[in-house]
Amino acid sequence: MSSPLRVKGFQIFAEYLDRAACDALVHDLRDVARVAPFRVPVTPSGKVMSVRMTSAGRVGWITDQKGYRYESVQPSGAPWPPVPVRLLELWRDVTGLTRDPDCCLVNYYGEGAKMGLHQDKDEGDFDWPVVSVSLGDEALFRMGNPTRGGSTDSVWLKSGDVVVMGGAARLAYHGIDRVRFGSSNLLKDGGRINVTLRVVAG
């Protein structure tokens, strides 16, 4: 594994996954989506998000008008599917940890979708990193600071890139400004899949 690019504490492993590995993960995530279908999330303020979302693992991340939180079951009441083994192996490789993640959050970005600057702060214990995997179309990833405001840096993430957010970057604001729709042929209908792996306290 080559040394990562470091920006504001974010570790970016460019081309960590080759095309065959990306194809295999997409296959695994289709299996996840068959058990836990993608849904259109709504923020507590009632805003409809532009991404579609599902989860795997011990818990899944939920947003609705009741708030942001982790739940042990899907909105339907069914359990979440397990985290794909290939993603657990990736987590162990890039973090060196033996503690596996509790949640695998899967976001699909279609044409025009984006994600505003935000913190990942619903996990309860911020000593554990968050690992992000990009699959499909390129996305402009913006990295900020642990508090709102100040300078930001941006980098285009390509299919197969992996980002580790730990240490100083664990609570840094970050987001996706835009996606180059159609820049990859990994997904049949275009778009981008982003997977984030998280340890959730409790």
pLDDT digit string, tens, across residues 8-32: 999 999 999 999 999 999 999 999 9
Number of residues that this document lists for the chain: 202
- Dihedral, CA atoms, 104, 125, 160, 176, nearest 10 degrees? 90
User: Residue 183's CB: how many other CB atoms inside 10 A?
Assistant: 16
User: Which residue segments constitute the domains of the chain, with CATH numbers given?
Assistant: 5-198 (2.60.120.590)
User: Residue 107's CB: how many other CB atoms inside 10 A?
Assistant: 23
Rounded to two decimals, the pTM is 0.95
Structure tokens at 16: 């960590």
**What pLDDT is recorded for position 2?**
73
User: Exposure of 33 by Cβ count < 10 A (0-12 exposed, 13-18 middle, 19+ buried)?
Assistant: middle
Position 82 pLDDT exceeds 90:
yes
Structure tokens at 34: 């068959």
**What pLDDT is recorded for position 201?**
82
- Angstrom distance (rounded) from CA 58 to CA 35: 14
**What pLDDT is recorded for position 202?**
57
- Across 43-69, average pLDDT: 95
Residue 164 and residue 11 in contact, taking contact as beta carbons nearer than 8 Å: yes
Whole-number average pLDDT of the chain: 96
